[in-house]
């Protein structure tokens, strides 16, 4: 029996149709609408899922169900609120209900980062461990936890590792506070810093590359291209991000002492292997039990992890 999964991101909507043990039978990606409102987003989600289903040779209504990993807060009925990265979504929207009508199958909604963490735990790089911390390095930095085999979500908002303070009074974070890990490591904060330094006269090809590739903001691929061209500012800012991640992740490990740390997200997947030595070294500086660091691995499910993780929710109620 096939399941559908949709990862609803601020930049893109990634859908997948998934068979047993996470085998992907179809997948489609569309840009997240930047105008309109939740209903427009839901329509694009349905379109992407339908395309994935067509690839898999089924109609959406034949799926066991569809799971969604969403930003913001999702209640048990799939009403999503405070998804501030999405157009016109400041209020609450009954996403599960609306999407279910569009697709003709049941829909369940979970947190984007938490479903991606569960996917890595059950099917990806987290399989060998009973407790993991998922760190998703992308536009921002999110986190998810599995403790003793079970998701730990606290009062519903656990895992906000991006807002671990690593430097009091430090860099301004997109969240408005200062010194958060995300203020150094989030792609959005990295872009702001690059713009700031570029305006002050530092040389960089980052923005030339961005425009040439038809992007209106710096994507992970733009950073990679710049790095490959020997761009000094890009290299410095990625280095700064990795140092911040190492500090914040070490503090988290000191607190929860998990067996494994799984690094995902657009930046994590693209740069994880290349910077793994630096990340481990930086963590080592701050780990209290430094002779027994946790395993640190790059997410194995790649870009599809969110959608695969979401599919695990399908039909689960």
Cβ 217 to its own copies, closest distance in Å? 23
Decide if residue 254 touches its own copies (CB under 8 A): yes
Burial status of residue 31 (CB atoms within 10 A of its CB: 0-12, 13-18, 19 or more): exposed
> Number of residues in contact with its own copies, rule: CB under 8 A?
41
Decide if residue 258 touches its own copies (CB under 8 A): yes
Decide if residue 279 touches its own copies (CB under 8 A): no
CA distance 39 to 102: 11
CA distance 67 to 65: 7
92 close to 77: Cβ distance less than 8 angstroms = no
Cβ 108 to its own copies, closest distance in Å? 22
CA distance 279 to 185: 12
State the first-to-last Cα distance of the chain, in angstroms, to the nearest integer.
16
Burial status of residue 92 (CB atoms within 10 A of its CB: 0-12, 13-18, 19 or more): middle
Q: Which residue in 25, 36, 58, 167 binds its own copies (CB under 8 A)? A: 167
Decide if residue 280 touches its own copies (CB under 8 A): no
Q: Which residue in 54, 64, 92, 165 binds its own copies (CB under 8 A)? A: 165
Cβ 218 to its own copies, closest distance in Å? 24
Q: CA separation (Å) from 100 to 65, 88, 95, 308?
A: 9, 21, 8, 18
Q: Which residue in 158, 192, 235, 276 binds its own copies (CB under 8 A)? A: 158
Decide if residue 175 touches its own copies (CB under 8 A): yes
Binding mask 84-123 for its own copies (x = CB under 8 A): ----------------------------------------
Applying CB under 8 A, the residues found at the interface with its own copies are 131, 143, 145, 147-148, 152-161, 163-168, 175, 177, 180, 247-248, 250-252, 254-259, 285-286, 288-289, 292, 294
């Amino acid at each position: 029996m096939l399941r559908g999964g949709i990862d609803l991101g601020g930049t893109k909507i990634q859908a997948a149709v998934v068979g047993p043990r996470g085998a992907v039978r179809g997948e489609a990606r569309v840009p997240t609408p930047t105008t309109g409102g939740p209903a427009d987003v839901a329509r694009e989600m349905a379109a992407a899922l339908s395309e994935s289903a067509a690839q898999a040779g089924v109609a959406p209504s034949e799926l066991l169900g569809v799971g969604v990993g969403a930003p913001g807060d999702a209640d048990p009925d799939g009403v999503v609120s405070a998804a501030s990265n999405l157009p016109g979504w400041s209020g609450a929207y009954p996403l599960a209900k609306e999407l279910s009508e569009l697709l003709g199958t049941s829909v369940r909604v979970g947190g984007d980062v938490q479903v991606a963490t569960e996917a890595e735990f059950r099917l990806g790089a987290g399989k060998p461990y009973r407790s993991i911390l998922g760190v998703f390095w992308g536009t921002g930095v999110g986190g998810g936890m599995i403790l003793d085999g079970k998701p730990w979500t606290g009062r519903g908002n656990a895992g906000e590792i991006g807002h671990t303070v690593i430097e009091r009074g430090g860099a301004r974070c997109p969240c408005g506070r200062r010194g958060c890990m995300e203020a150094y490591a989030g792609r959005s904060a990295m872009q702001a810093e690059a713009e700031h330094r570029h305006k002050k006269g530092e040389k960089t090809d980052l923005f030339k590359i961005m425009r040439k590739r038809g992007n209106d903001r710096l994507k992970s691929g733009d950073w990679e291209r710049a790095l490959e061209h020997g761009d000094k500012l890009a290299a410095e800012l990625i280095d700064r991000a990795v140092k911040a991640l190492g500090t914040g992740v070490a503090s988290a490990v000191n607190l929860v002492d998990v067996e494994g740390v799984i690094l995902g997200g657009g930046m994590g997947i693209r740069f994880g292997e290349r910077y793994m030595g630096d990340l481990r070294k930086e963590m080592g500086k701050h780990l209290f039990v430094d002779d027994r660091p946790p395993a640190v691995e790059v997410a194995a499910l790649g870009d599809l992890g969110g959608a695969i993780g979401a599919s695990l929710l399908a039909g689960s109620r």
